[in-house]
Each structure stands twice: as C-alpha cells, then as structure tokens.
Amino acid sequence: MTTTDRTLSSLLATPERDADAAFVSQVEALVRYDQLRLAARRSAFRRIAIETAAAGAMLVAFVAAARIGAPSDLVPLFSPAMAGLIALGVWATVSLRLPARRRQAFG
C-alpha cells in the first residue's frame, strides 16, 4: 500500500462512534413492551379458556338438571335451572366482554 492509498483510506474511512443512546433506549422499550404484551395476551387467553370451560360446565349442569325435572321440555320457563341459566347469561355478559381494540404504543 502506498502513502496515497493510506491517506485516502484514512480520509474515507467511516469514523467509529458510540451507539445512539436514544435509539438503543427506544428499542429496549419496544422489547419490554412486546414482552409485557405477550405475557398479558397469554394471561387473557388462559382466563378466557378457564371461564369458558366453567361456563360450559355450568350450562351442561343446568341443562342436565332441567332434563331430570321435566323430560318433555328442555328447560322449563319457571324452574331453578332457568334461573341458573339466566344468572349464567348475566355473568357471561358482564365478565366475558370482548377486549377493546389495542392502540399502538409507539407511532
């Protein structure tokens, strides 16, 4: 390598610089946000699965109780089973609400 080549390579070389602190902190914040979002999503799916299984078990129990009492009707209108089904419906309406649309955290 000649002196001219060395001079040109030193002049054209990209200067070494430290990482952009703002960019690094933004990427770290996005990683933490994504980890929290995934944990919350797993928790929500687990909760929905457990509550749906519980509601299904209650529904089966009430229908079975109604069929034992009156074989001609599925669920008589004025029966403890119907009261249980109404309570189940109110509980499902209040507790199994659909999640609201998520907003973008960044951007």
Helix (H) or strand (E) holding 82: helix 80-95
For residues 19-43, give the mean pLDDT.
91
pLDDT band at 56 (very low <50, low <70, confident <90, very high): confident
Contact indicator for 74, 60 with CB cutoff of 8 Å: no
Q: How far apart are CA 35 and CA 46, in angstroms?
A: 17
For residues 32-51, give the mean pLDDT.
91
Which among 21-25, 77-81, 97-101 has the top mean pLDDT?
21-25
**How much is the pTM?**
0.47
Cβ neighbours of 67 (radius 10 Å): 14
Give me the residue spans of the domains in the chain: 20-95
Residue 103 is predicted with a pLDDT of 46
For residues 89-96, give the mean pLDDT.
73
